Structure 1
């Protein structure tokens, strides 16, 4: 049952792409990366040459260009974005498989979102995913203005269309690792995030990602949940953010002399940032029950060398987080590339 699911435990931008790529790199044998959801969120990773890739449609786990990529029925595809990223990465199309039931995002879906006012009222990216979801659920209703288009009906994709459930099942039967790369974070989940209507159009839990991938819960042996030291939300009226602070305040605390302000991958807007909210993470842990917990952006608290000092601000921060969420943190991230397995509090944390 070699399926890994990578999901976010806050409001997205936790560094899921980096982790999915790391799992793919550390896995033995062939790997397939599954991208659920749509291009309304970006996943970032660095290839082995150190080049940064911020992808919206292709999964970050494929950046090394050595894995199969699957877009299952639970995918929403912007053709222009997908083809651009395939060309930019020079990704071999023979390694890309798209379900005939994946949905295509059309110009009408994007226009509907813009005219619906949700870009300003919800902090939506306006990428058309919500419109595509609505059109799919409407199922051709005559009183709904949007039409749902399946990948099977879209000529430019015909060479890539496959029965993806069968493709994945065959790989699992051969013992190959499947990595499902989830999108956004638990706090944005439509059904259980707790912030409706300031939410995305889908369920962003591990169970939701698995359902979109078309696989069984019995296939899963690894659920990796990624969180960050200071959670973010997108700009505008995107919803509550506990103990909201500023990028300048974080930089001053760690004596950083450079601008650490983060911007969204899709819309390039300044992100809002808040202090760590244990209650949100506790709910995310309950819903996802991860086997591995990753905390990224620890460089906003201290340096990796501070792990060796149990009285450092960093060590105290990690202890405080673990006590409040009643869960050990297994991996530590201090940069867009770095993951550490350093000793802390007398224990060794390592990759499963």
Structure 2
């Protein structure tokens, strides 16, 4: 029996999908515990390119069972489309995908409200995917949400829908009459209800049963620690808790059953959307990193903002998550970059900060204090052993370990699972 959380320790897009896919063949279960279809995990499997938004990456491993936990907000239409996408590509989903009946649903009006909030925010917009994630979580916290168990019971669902439409009517009027919005919600309801019914289960009980049978469970986060609603750059965050602590709330796993935490981190930093980004590069080098790293959102296609490695932010995330191990991704993107810079502290006015501040003004004004290291040349793609890496690349990796306070278990040098160097033989989920 073993449990592992794979969590992003930056602003998302760290390469978690590839790492989950790499380790997933060892897992009996892969569980998503938060977020919604605003995530985009890119995986290469059988030389095919997959982008998964809601379904755990473990679905690509034959025989692995997958659970969408109660902490996820589920758009039934998006889930149906994703299942159809996988089945068209000969991925067997039925009987392997399970959805917690306590997960909340995203409906058409949540998407409308998301668009409305972003449009009204103007210069203060968050930069959401406009997929209804925030409004669905707002309903959940405000005790107005509709859970999947409710959605599947028409005698419960219909009155809840009418109540919510009435309450939100003043905000929704720009999208049409209530009867039109009601039709938007209900037009596919019978088909989606039939689709969901065989997938739905008691999620926490399923996790408990798997633990009792001594199964190996991998928990897959979406987004990253610096987007966590409590620990991220608030208010420029997601609406859930991607941190390892969110596993227990979002899946029903007992806190004393969590064994290992693997943090995934890029060799540089990226961010999608608005919000503070102390090490952002707004010059030609930032553009070069975006181009070489193909830094465009897997969900929206938006260009990612790129910058130097931020050891202050990552060290904070490693501590919050209790990471015993790290996976370093996209080291190959830094080929030929000289010098390499690492933010080791911030300067705000005459203050030098070694910890990530919660004050939003300080986050916006923080100037990175950099440490420079020589870059490395030549292609490192395809290297299988750590000793093959150029000396300067190895020095960079070891310095990152020292600064963030956790060892690297592996280094990813490409999207395919074969393009990975395994570093630490003590890592219990060694591929």
Please indicate the TM-score interval, normalised by the length of the shorter structure: 0.7 to 0.9
Q: CA deviation at 1:66?
A: 2.6
Distance 1:161 1:349 in 2: 37
- Provide structure 2 residue ranges, at least 5 long, that are not aligned to the other structure: 153-192, 336-379
2:145 equivalent to 1:137: no
Work out the CA distance in 2 between the residues paired with 1:349 and 1:209: 24
User: Corresponding residue for 2:391?
Assistant: 312
**Aligned ranges for residues 7-22 of structure 1 at < 5 Å?**
7-22=7-22
Look up the match of 2:51. Answer: 54
Structural mapping, 1:313-328, within 5 Å: 313-328=392-407
In our comparison, the structure showing a higher alpha carbon Rg is 2
Structure 1 residue 316 displacement after superposition: 2.3
- 1:228 paired with 2:266, answer yes
Q: Which residue of 2 aligns with 1:5?
A: 5
Deviates more, 1:74-83 or 1:4-13: 74-83
In the alignment, what sits opposite 2:116? 115
Instruction: Check conservation: 1:341, 1:349, Cα contact below 8 A.
Output: no
The residue aligned with 1:166 is 205
SS in structure 2 opposite 1:112?
helix
CA contact (8 A) 1:309 1:315 kept: no
Deviation, 1:159, is 1.8
Distance 1:309 1:159, change over 3 A: closer
SS of 1:97's equivalent in the other structure is strand
In the superposition, the TM-score normalised over structure 1's length comes to 0.87
Q: Deviations over 1:107-165 (max 9, x none)?
A: 1011101101278611111111111000111113xxxxxxx221122323122221111
Contact kept, 8 Å, 1:225 with 1:292, in 2: the verdict is: yes
Question: Whole-Å Cα distance in 2 between the matches of residues 139 and 167 of structure 1?
Answer: 25
Moved more, 275-284 or 200-209: 200-209
Matched positions, count: 331
Q: Flag the 1:35–1:247 CA change in 2: closer, same or farther, 3 A.
A: farther
Deviation at 1:105, TM superposition (A): 0.6
The answer on whether the counterparts of 2:330 and 2:413 sit within 8 Å (CA) in structure 1 is: yes
Any conservation in 2 of the 1:247–1:273 contact (CA below 8 Å)? no
Secondary structure of 1:179's counterpart equals: strand
Which stretches in structure 1 are left out of the alignment for 5+ residues? 141-147
Whether contact under 8 Å (1:18, 1:45) holds in the other structure is: yes
1:96 to 2:97 alignment: yes
> Paired residue for 1:40, among 35, 38, 61?
38
Equivalent position of 2:242 in the other structure: 204
In 2, distance between residues paired with 1:172 and 1:247?
50
RMSD: 2.4
**Is 1:307–1:314's contact at 8 Å kept on the other side of the alignment?**
no
TM-score, length of structure 2 as denominator length? 0.72
Does residue 77 (structure 1) correspond to residue 71 (structure 2)? The answer is no
* Corresponding position of 2:61: 64
Q: Which residue of 2 aligns with 1:143?
A: none
Q: Which residue of 2 aligns with 1:293?
A: 326
Residues of 2 paired with 1:285 and 1:13: CA distance? 16
Partner SS for 1:69: strand
After superposition, the C-alpha distances for 1:11-51 in whole angstroms (9 at most, x for unaligned) are 00111111112221135xxx11111221111111121x111
- Identify which range, 317-326 or 13-22, moves more after superposition: 317-326
Residues 327/32 of structure 1: CA separation in 2 closer, same or farther (3 Å cut) = closer
Q: Deviations over 1:270-309 (max 9, x none)?
A: 1101100000111011111112211101111241559436
In 2: Cα distance, 1:114 partner to 1:264 partner: 18
